[in-house]
């Protein structure tokens, strides 16, 4: 597994020389070129254990697959109310879609989002931030979904 930052120290003639971190371009050059099978067979699921002191324990948060992320983004587009983008329950929705048990199975269906949303805001925020990071969802992505909701929904609805 490749490291984001690699720092090594070598003894050369009694002196310790520390190398600089490899740039992303240098890292890419040192990696093998992947073929179709290597990509499709790659184990790329990310799962992180997150402490939740408010709940007196820890949970597992997993990254979304491409299809799961598309589904989440579609659900966000459906949250549009008139000209406003309704962010209520958005954190709980991502938490529900990314919390998994020890076997990696999703713990909460979307129907549980209102109940999750009633839990500690601090706990939800902590889990949301981890989920957001490992799913590759930035604050700008959420803003972009809100901006593009009008054009994305106009083709999918029978009403104008």
67 within a domain of the structure (yes/no): yes
Same domain for 79 and 136:
yes
pTM flag (> 0.85): no
Neighbours of 67 (CB within 10 A): 8
The verdict on 101 and 52 lying in the same domain is yes
The reply to whether 123 and 73 lie within a common domain is yes
Chain mean pLDDT for the chain: 80
Q: Are residues 28 and 82 in the same domain?
A: no
Same domain, 54 and 123: yes
User: Is residue 3 situated within a structural domain?
Assistant: no
Same domain assignment for residues 29 and 54: no
Q: Are residues 17 and 33 in the same domain?
A: yes
**Same domain as 91, residue 26:** no
Confidence (pLDDT) at 142: 66
Three-class SS state of 51: strand
pLDDT value at residue 141: 78
Q: Where are the extended beta strands (E) located within 63-146?
A: 80-81, 84-85, 99-100
Over 80: is that where the pLDDT of 112 sits?
yes
Domain that holds residue 149: 47-154
Looking at residue 64, its pLDDT comes to 96
Residue 90 CB neighbours (<10 A): 19
Contact 99, 60 (CB under 8 A): yes
For residue 73, the model assigns a pLDDT of 86
Please check whether residue 160 lies inside any domain of the structure: no
């Amino acid at each position: 597994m490749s490291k984001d930052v690699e720092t090594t120290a070598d003894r050369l003639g009694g002196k310790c020389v520390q190398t600089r971190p490899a740039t992303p371009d240098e890292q890419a050059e040192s990696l093998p070129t992947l073929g179709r099978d290597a990509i499709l067979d790659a184990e790329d699921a990310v799962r992180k254990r997150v402490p939740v002191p408010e709940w007196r324990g820890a949970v597992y948060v997993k990254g979304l697959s491409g299809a799961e992320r598309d589904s989440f983004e579609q659900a966000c587009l459906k949250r549009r109310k008139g000209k406003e983008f309704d962010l209520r329950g958005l954190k709980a929705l991502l938490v529900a879609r990314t919390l998994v048990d020890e076997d990696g199975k999703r713990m909460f269906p979307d129907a549980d989002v209102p109940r999750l949303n009633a839990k500690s805001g601090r706990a939800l925020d902590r889990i949301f931030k981890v989920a957001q990071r490992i799913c590759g969802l930035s604050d700008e992505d959420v803003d972009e979904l809100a901006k593009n909701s009008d054009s994305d929904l106009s083709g999918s609805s029978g009403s104008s």
